[in-house]
Amino acid sequence: MSWFKRDKPAGEKLPTLETGERRVRTEGLWQKCEGCRQIIWKKDLEANWNVCPKCGSHSRIDAIARLKLLCDDGAYLEFDAGLASSDPLGFVDSKPYRDRLLETQETTNLADALISVAGKLDGRPVHMCSMEPKFIGGSMGSVVGEKIARAIERAIEKRTPLIIVSASGGARMQEGAISLMQMAKISAALMRMDEARLPYISVLTDPTTGGVTASFAMLGDLNIAEPGALIGFAGPRVIEQTIRQKLPEGFQRSEFLLKHGMLDAVVPRLEMKSFLSKSLKFFAG
């Protein structure tokens, strides 16, 4: 399996060892489930796509694992892999954005926070985008915006469905208003997809917030979410600070959104492919 759940606080250095071209973290063989608090053998968790075999609680998986789960035979053709941010603002926070990008590119082996591919889903050609939450919080800057816009254009040209799996804290602060405008750019491209009467399914996973929710993640012909995912516009901390009261239990989780009519369905990870397949069969025959 190609992903590893990180359950230690960021900042704590984990031992790494080089195995061929890929870095593998040796974090120990056991992991505590956030859902049931039981100690799970890590291999069992990974074999189950990071869904706890005991309680069904979903922990995050990376963008590549997602594509392997959804694409037939785990096979796909990637597009625009080389698109990278040019740091248009020359932004500096605790470190220069340029350095942060280089470090993140090194640790994730990705140029930015989204992988855009063509593949097959139960034999049907689809375009698919998968977001990587470990890449600066899965945030959306110019590269994510451009890759999605191109994926939409490709889907329209080839007349295929489009699936976008979101996992993002929202627009990327380090690219300022340029990030913000990606929301409009992508939404306008989805208008064209809509006019072309081609299916677009949005899959929301933990977390999907801010400018990503407030643009493409909520614009699917179907908006479906994994169980227990944090989904919202404003972050929970911002809301707490604004209204100065504790938030109710389960607020902004998938089930909360379903109850309030904001999602079409909450679908467990291991049933996602079948759900998508059936939906596409309805839309596209």
Partner 1 sequence: MEVDPEQSASAPVTAVPAPAVSEPHPAWQRVLLARHPKRPHSLDYIERLFTDFQEIHGDRAFGDDSAIVAGLAHFEDRPVAVVAEQKGRDTKQKLIRNFGMPKPEGYRKALRVMQLAAKFRRPVITLLDTPGAYPGIDAEERGQAEAIARNLREMSRLPVPVISVCIGEGGSGGALALGVGNVVLMMENAVYSVISPESCAAIIYRDSGKAEQAAAALRLTAEDLESYGLIDGIVPEPAGGAQENPEGAADNLRGFLRRYLDELSALSADRLVEHRYAKFRKMGNFFA
Residues contributing to the site for partner 1 (CB under 8 A): 82-94, 96, 98, 142-143, 145-146, 149, 171-173, 175-185, 187-192, 194-195, 210-211, 213-219, 231-235, 238-239, 242-243, 247-248, 251-252, 260-262
N-to-C CA span, the chain: 33
One character per residue 24-43, x = contact with Zn ion (rule: CB under 5 A): ---------x-xx-------
268 forms part of the interface with Zn ion (CB under 5 A): no
**Strands (DSSP E) along 154-240, which ranges?**
162-168, 200-208, 222-225
Long-range contacts of residues 57-60, Cβ cutoff 8 Å, at least 24 apart: 57/33, 57/228, 58/206, 58/226, 58/227, 58/228, 58/229, 58/268, 58/269, 59/5, 59/33, 59/34, 60/5, 60/133, 60/167, 60/205, 60/206
Quick one: 184 exposed, middle or buried, by C-beta within 10 A (0-12, 13-18, 19+)?
exposed
Q: How far is the CB of 39 from Zn ion (least distance, A)?
A: 10
In the complex with partner 1, the residue whose CB is nearer, 126 or 149, is 149
Beta strand 16-19 pairing with 22-25: antiparallel
Q: How far is the CB of 52 from Zn ion (least distance, A)?
A: 3
105 forms part of the interface with Zn ion (CB under 5 A): no
Tokens standing for 136? 């600066």
CA-closest candidate to residue 23, choices 43, 49, 50, 3: 3
204 forms part of the interface with Zn ion (CB under 5 A): no
In the complex with Zn ion, the residue whose CB is nearer, 57 or 277, is 57
Contact (Cβ atoms closer than 8 angstroms) between residue 139 and residue 169 = yes
Q: How far is the CB of 154 from Zn ion (least distance, A)?
A: 39
In the complex with partner 1, the residue whose CB is nearer, 67 or 149, is 149
Tokens standing for 37? 């608090």
Q: Cβ atoms within 10 A of the Cβ of 29, count?
A: 8
Q: According to CB under 5 A, which residues from 44 to 63 bind Zn ion?
A: 52, 54-55, 57
How many chain residues interact with Zn ion (CB under 5 A)? 7
In the complex with partner 1, the residue whose CB is nearer, 46 or 112, is 112
Pick what 216 binds: partner 1, Zn ion, none; C-beta below 5 to 8 Å, kind-dependent: partner 1
Q: How far is the CB of 206 from Zn ion (least distance, A)?
A: 15
Pick what 179 binds: Zn ion, partner 1, none; C-beta below 5 to 8 Å, kind-dependent: partner 1
Pick what 54 binds: partner 1, Zn ion, none; C-beta below 5 to 8 Å, kind-dependent: Zn ion
144 forms part of the interface with Zn ion (CB under 5 A): no
Residues lying near Zn ion in the complex (CB under 5 A) are found at 33, 35-36, 52, 54-55, 57
